[in-house]
Amino acid sequence: MNHRNLIFYLLLLVLFFNCYQMPRNYQQSETYSRRKYISKPAINSAEIPHEKHELSDKMKLLVEIRSFIGTPYQAGGINREGVDCSGFVTAVYQSAIGLKLPHSSKALYKQGNSVNRHKLEFGDLLFFRTGRTGKISHVGIFLKDDKFVHASSSKGVIVSDLIDNQYYKTRFVGARRITEL
């Protein structure tokens, strides 16, 4: 199985397990069993607010990330014709959930809240020092199981492993949570 198919199946797996969400007002103590609740909803679908029919922010982000896989690297780029690392992050968050972020890895590092590497969640931003200056110079989006997606200057938008890839493992600086998904 090639790398692109593996990425697709990983994202599909994440998508599958995150698609079903119980309604906010559902409680385990209700007399409906989960099976009955799913087969016979307690409310008419016409009564559900329009937003319930839309994808969750997490799913929107995942769909947008998937659409960028394979996009070539272009310094200063911010669209599917070509992106740099911060342009990729900026474009994905803007398009998926309407969140405007700065187009600079250094400026992105000042956004949100710091997150411990062992408590990373989907959508967290990962930061690296890849240049000679020692300053933050690269950013990616955490997926799951130490995998993250980013715009590599040599390969374009790809998925890499934070632990198995020695290059990124040794250059990892920290992570930030921009928003709760």
176 and 114 Cβ atoms separated by less than 8 Å: yes
- What are the catalytic residues? 85, 138, 150
pLDDT tens over the chain, length 181 residues = 555 655 665 555 444 445 444 444 434 333 333 333 333 333 344 443 445 446 899 999 999 999 999 999 999 999 999 999 999 999 999 999 999 999 999 999 999 999 999 999 999 999 999 988 889 999 999 999 999 999 999 999 999 999 999 999 999 999 999 987 6
Distances (CA, A) of 170 to 94, 127, 166, 174: 30, 12, 6, 11
The verdict on residue 33 lying in a domain is: no
Q: Does 123 fall in a domain?
A: yes
Q: For the domain that residue 72 is a member of, what is the CATH number?
A: 3.90.1720.10
> Could you list the residue range(s) of the whole structural domain that residue 124 is in?
3-19+55-177
Task: For residue 43, tell me if it sits in a domain.
Answer: no
Residue 79 lies in a domain: yes
Residue 50 lies in a domain: no
Q: pTM for this structure?
A: 0.71
Query: What are the pLDDT digits (tens) for 110-137?
Result: 999 999 999 999 999 999 999 888 899 9
Q: Secondary structure of the chain in the HEC alphabet?
A: CCHHHHHHHHHHHHHHHHHCCCCCCCCCCCCCCHHHHHHCCCCCHHHCCHHHHCCCHHHHHHHHHHHHCCCCECCCCEECCEECHHHHHHHHHHHHHCCCCCCCHHHHCCCCEEECHHHCCCCCEEEECCCCCCCCCEEEEEEECCEEEEEECCCEEEEEECCCCHHHHHHEEEEEECCCC
Whether 49 maps to a domain, the answer reads no
32 falls within a domain: no
On whether residue 10 sits in a domain, the answer given is yes
How many structural domains are present in the chain?
Answer: 1
